[in-house]
Structure 1
Amino acid sequence: MKFLLTSAGIKNPSLLTALVDLLGKPISEASALCIPTAIYPFPGGPGMAHRFISGLTSSPMCELGWKSLGVLELTALPSIDKAYWTAAVQEADALLVYGGDIHYLCRWMRESGLADLLPSLRETVYVGISAGSMVTAPVFGETYDDPKRPFVIDQGLGLVDFALLPHLDHERHPESSTVNVARMAAEVPVPTYGIDDQTAIKVLDGTVEVVSEGRWRLFAPAS
C-alpha cells in the first residue's frame, strides 16, 4: 500500500500535493471509500460519523472532490458476502480512515477481515486521520482521559514500521504534548513521529517522508 498518515486530514496545499502524488492522478478522477468506524464509541459518535462523511468536520477528507465516494463500515463486513465488499475495496483508489477510538478501530480492522486484505492492495492509498493513522503502526500508545496516566501500549496492524502520535502540542490534546510524546516513545520499540495538524507521514515503496507546513519531531526508541 501507499500511505498518507495525517493528524487532522488534508489541511494545507503540501498535504494535498502529497495525496495527488500518491494517487497518480487528480482527486476528481479517483474513487474513495471512507471508514468512519473509529468515531462511534465517542459521545455523539453517530453524528460525528455523518459529519465526516458529509465533509462537515474540521478534518478535510471526504469533501476533496472525489470522482466517487462510498462508505465502508467495518462492523457490518462480517455479515456481508466477503466477495462483495472485497471487490469494492480492491476497486477503490483510496481508503479514508477516520479517527476516534484506536482500540475499537484496531479490533474491527481485524474482525472485519480488512486488516488481512490491506497488504495485498499494492496501488491503494491509505489516508489516515489521527487514530486512523496510528493504527497502522506495529505498536501504539494513547490515553484520552488523563494526560498524566501511563500510556496504554497495544499492538497495531504493523502496516508501517514506525509509531505515530498526532496533534502534537495541540491545546485541545494535552496527551500529545511534546513531553508526553517523548514519554510514550520511550515505551515502544520503534521510532515514533509526533506530528501536528499541518503534517503527515508519506510512505511510498517503503520510503518514509515527512510532509509538513507545521511542526513535527522524530523520537528514537529507548535503547
Structure 2
Amino acid sequence: MKFLLTSSGIRNPSIADALVDLLGKPIAEATALFIPTGVYPFPAGSERAWQAIQGRATIPLVQLGWKSLGLLELTALPSVREEHWVPAVRAADALLVWGGDVLYLTYWLRQSGLAGLLPSLSDTVWVGVSAGSIAVTPYNCDAEFNRGFVPEGSDMAQDADRALGLVDFTLYPHLNHPDMEGTRLSDIQRWASEIPVPTYAIDDDTAIKVVDGTVAVISEGDWTLINP
C-alpha cells in the first residue's frame, strides 16, 4: 500500500498535493471508501461517526470532492460474504480511515479480515486520521487511554500496545495540541524512549507519506523524529 498518515486530515495545500501525488490523479477522478469504525467507543461515538460521514466534522477528508465515496463498516464485514465487499476494496483508489480508539480500530481491522487483505493492495492509498494513522504502525501510543473503553469481559485489551505494523516506524499525532493531554514533546519523548523503532511526533499540519518503504515528511507545521 501507499500511506498518507495525518493527525487531522488534509489540512493544508502541501498535504493535499501529497494525496494527489499518491493517487496519481485528481481527487475528483478518484474513488474512496470511508472507515468510521474507530470512533464508536467514545462518548457520542455514533453522532461523531455520522458527522464524519456527512462531512460535517472539522477534519477535511470525505468532503474533498471524491468521484465516488462509499462506507466500509468493519464491524459488519464478518457477517458479509467476502465476494460482496472485497471487490469494492480492491477497486477503491483510497481507504479513508477515521480517528478514535486505536485499540478498537485495530481489533476490527483484524476481525473483519481487512488487515489480511491490505498487503495485497499495492496501489491503494491509506489515508489515516489520528487513530487511523497509528493503526498501521507497530505500536499504539494510546494503549493506556484505550484500555479504559474496553467492555468488561472482553479480551480486546490483549496486546493493546501493538498495532498492525505495516510501516517500520511509529507515530504520535497532535503534537503540542492545546486541548489534548500528553501531546507535549517531552511527554512524547518519554513514551518513545521505550519504543525500539523511530517515532514521528507530528502536529495537525503535518503528514507522513510512505511509498515502497520510503518515508517523506509533508509539513506546514511542526514535527520531530525521535530515534530509538
Matched length: 215
Give 5+ residue unaligned stretches, structure 2. 147-158
Give 3-state SS (helix, strand or coil) of 2:177's partner: coil
Counterpart check, 1:179 vs 2:186: yes
> Structure 2: how far apart are the matches of 1:58 and 1:175?
22
Give the residue type in structure 1 aligned to 2:59: S
> Which residue does the alignment assign to 2:177?
170
Alignment check: 8 A CA contact 1:7 1:129 kept: yes
> Structure 2: how far apart are the matches of 1:199 and 1:16?
11
- Root-mean-square deviation over aligned CA pairs: 1.2
Give 3-state SS (helix, strand or coil) of 2:195's partner: coil
> Which residue does the alignment assign to 1:92?
92
Q: Deviations over 1:51-100 (max 9, x none)?
A: 11111111100000000000000000000001111111000000000000
Q: Deviations over 1:109-147 (max 9, x none)?
A: 0000000000100000000000000011111222449xx
1:153: Cα distance to partner?
Answer: 6.3
> Structure 2: how far apart are the matches of 1:54 and 1:140?
28
Give 5+ residue unaligned stretches, structure 1. 146-151
Counterpart check, 1:159 vs 2:166: yes
Counterpart check, 1:37 vs 2:37: yes
> Structure 1: how far apart are the matches of 2:183 and 2:89?
32
TM-score by length of 2: 0.92
Alignment check: 8 A CA contact 2:103 2:140 kept: no
Matches for 1:16-165 after TM superposition, within 5 Å: 16-142=16-142, 143-144=144-145, 154-165=161-172
> Structure 1: how far apart are the matches of 2:173 and 2:99?
10
> Structure 2: how far apart are the matches of 1:94 and 1:172?
30
> Structure 1: how far apart are the matches of 2:184 and 2:160?
17
> Structure 2: how far apart are the matches of 1:218 and 1:58?
27
Of Structure 1 and Structure 2, the greater strand share is in 1
Alignment check: 8 A CA contact 1:144 1:175 kept: no
> Structure 1: how far apart are the matches of 2:199 and 2:160?
13
> Structure 2: how far apart are the matches of 1:165 and 1:135?
11
4+ residue segments displaced more than 6 Å: none
> Which residue does the alignment assign to 1:149?
none
> Which residue does the alignment assign to 2:204?
197
Alignment check: 8 A CA contact 2:103 2:160 kept: no
> Structure 2: how far apart are the matches of 1:140 and 1:220?
17
> Structure 1: how far apart are the matches of 2:170 and 2:34?
22
